[in-house]
Structure 1
Amino acid sequence: MEKKYILFDNDGVLVETEVWYYEASKRALKEFFDVNLQFDEYMDIMTAGNGVWVAAKGASEKEKIIAREQRDVYYQEYLRKENIAIENVHDVLGELKKQYQMAIVTTSRRVDFDIIHKNRGIIDFMDFVLCVEDYPRAKPFPDPYLKGLELFGASKEETIVIEDSQRGLISANRANIDCVIVHNEFTKTQNFDSASYKIDKLSELSSILNQNKFE
């Protein structure tokens, strides 16, 4: 069926933020719990949809809350000072907007999302944005993408999800929505076998959609 709606993941698809969330989490775990969070362990935690604080074994909930608050401070510092832009995103979205209705479905907190997108212009192309506060359960549960379908009044068959992580792909799969994975160096070792398509750059998306090969 021809696609009419596009649901974009945010981090790693529209902006390059995932590495900074990892660095902020790694920094806080080391500072508060003397835990050296390895990249592979972090990836496993994220894919399962857990918080990084599961790595702080034996820590109290109060200690985790304090560490989480500091992690958020570090993350926002990175968001404000690091270059998180992905090349040609505005051009790609501008072309797609001529043909599709689009939205962002992210597990980011609204406060972080607002920092990321301040004066960036990306949300101008979107009909709506869903952050982690806007649905019951985060990815890899299907709730975020099912909420996106609901707001568009769209069927699963006429919608496509754009992701870069295994967690996001699982969420789309569980919602029974076709998913295109766009390559990201940060998540390249994850398993994307169940993706409908895999592309190297976001600019290739129009070609995939125009081929209309989704069954």
Structure 2
Amino acid sequence: MKKFILFDNDGVLVDTEYWYYEAGERALAEVGVALDLEQYLKDMAHGLGTWHQAALAGVDDVTIDRLKIVRNVYYQDSLRTEPIEIDGVLDVLDELSKHARMAIVTTSKRSDFELIHADRGILRFMDFVLARDDYVRPKPHPEPYVTALERFGADRAETLVVEDSARGLRSAVAAGIDCAVVHNEFTQAQDFSDATYRIRALSELTEIVRR
């Protein structure tokens, strides 16, 4: 039986993955660079993203720093205006809270995370949140999940990670924790062969946790 669940945020608890990509795509378009989605998803698995393609296209560091600000504005606007809820999340968390303690381990910046969860009701089920500002080396490095284990004082065998991306899966595997990958249309083509479980929806977690 799993006593601790560590959730990724984007693409697992809220449907934000596409909007982050789209914000970067819009920012790069301002300097005439097209952000290739297929390459973006491949880069993402290795902890890279928008600015890797920008650098390869010859965009200088000063311009990239400016475009990051532009991207962040676009992204936060989407977080305020686009539908990012995933149906049934609160009901699943309510059920899981009867069997396990839960936390969120995300690569989101704290400012974006707080905007996402300003009035969503998800955080009441969580013991704590680790955002990008709370560790040094991001996913796919194991540090985020190792840090969460230490915060809980949890044993790896009693813990389950829930992810939707190859980057997050690699982080969990490197930390030695079982990982359930939930289906996400945006990341579905990535390599999840190392996942302990593949699930279509979060509602399947209750059975896994209670085994």
Which of 41, 44, 48 is residue 43 of structure 1 equivalent to? Answer: 41
Amino acid at match of 1:167: R
SS of 2:147's equivalent?
Answer: helix
Percentage of identical aligned residues = 55
Distance 1:160 1:207 in 2: 12
Distance 1:165 1:60 in 2: 29
Q: 1:101-124 CA deviation, whole Å, 9 max, x = no partner?
A: 000000000000000001101001
TM-score in terms of structure 2 length: 0.97
1:209 CA displacement: 2.0
SS of 2:45's equivalent?
Answer: helix
SS of 1:187's equivalent?
Answer: coil
Distance 2:146 2:135 in 1: 9
TM-score in terms of structure 1 length: 0.95
Distance 1:209 1:6 in 2: 9
Number of residues of Structure 1 aligned to a counterpart in Structure 2? 209
SS of 1:140's equivalent?
Answer: coil
Distance 2:13 2:53 in 1: 29
SS of 1:186's equivalent?
Answer: coil
SS of 1:185's equivalent?
Answer: coil
Distance 1:129 1:208 in 2: 22
* Greater CA drift, 56-65 or 40-49: 56-65
Distance 2:17 2:49 in 1: 14
What corresponds to 1:7 in structure 2? Answer: 6
Structure 2 counterparts to residues 48-197 of structure 1, below 5 A: 48-56=46-54, 57-197=57-197
Q: 1:134-188 CA deviation, whole Å, 9 max, x = no partner?
A: 0110000001000100100011111100001000000000001000001111111
4+ residue runs over 6 A deviation: none
Contact 2:40 2:49 in 1 (8 A): no
CA RMSD after TM alignment: 0.8
